[in-house]
Amino acid sequence: MVSWPAAAGSSGHDQAEDLHRAPLRQEVSASTVVLLPHAPSSVGQARHQLGADLHRHGVADPVICDATLVLSELMSNAVRHARPLPGTQLRVAWTLSDGTLELAVSDGGGPTRPRPGRPSSVSSPGGRGLGIVDHLSRRWGVRNDDQGTTVWAVLTAGPGGSRSPRSPRALARS
């Protein structure tokens, strides 16, 4: 299993796990790594591929919704704020194993380290992405190496798993 643990100096964030349980038929780990162009159109491509892959592995729809939203936020930040990896690409990876989904987006780094921000006003069009990631993930963080920056997130995706009661789908029902 590929893992993106919170390394020293990274921003790992843990979430409470008093959430809805999602069934999972997948018993062995499944990993995917995709290289995509450093372009806005890659966000939708990655989201679609992740959703289809998770669906094939029997992941519940609410978990797929949360995972694709988290991946969209990570990808959007990489496209908007970071340089590409060599070859003008981004590396997107996910691993599904033992009821855990690990997502990672790697880019060539940027002028600042990714961290949750606050929108300047209620009507600001941006500044909420990593707050959403923080809310929907059990933990997330940032890892730097000689090639650039990887922002990763871990979500619960299996038996005994949970999802945030404050996720978009749950908010729509309240």
Ordered structural domains, the chain, with CATH: 30-173 (3.30.565.10)
Q: Answer yes or no: is pLDDT of 55 > 60.
A: yes
With cut-offs at 50, 70 and 90, classify the pLDDT of residue 52: very high
The HSE-up count of residue 7 (CA atoms within 13 Å, CB side) is 10
Percent of the chain with pLDDT over 70: 64
Three-state secondary-structure class, residue 90: strand
- In this structure, what are the phi and psi dihedrals at residue 91, rounded to the nearest 5 degrees? -105, 125
Provide mean pLDDT across the span 104-122.
Answer: 72
Lowest mean pLDDT of 22-31, 34-43, 44-53, 112-121, name the range: 22-31
Cα separation, 62 vs 84, whole angstroms: 31
Question: How far is residue 94's CA from residue 104's CA, in Å, rounded to a whole number?
Answer: 6
User: Stretch 77-81: mean pLDDT, rounded?
Assistant: 91
Cα(137)–Cα(163) distance, rounded to whole angstroms?
8
**CA distance linking residue 97 with residue 61, whole number of Å:** 17
Strands 30-37 and 100-107: unpaired
Question: Is residue 95 within a helix (H) or strand (E), and if so which, with residue range?
Answer: strand 89-97
35/159 Cα distance (integer angstroms) = 30
pLDDT of residue 93: 95
Instruction: Identify the weakest region by mean pLDDT among 59-63, 145-149, 166-170.
Output: 166-170
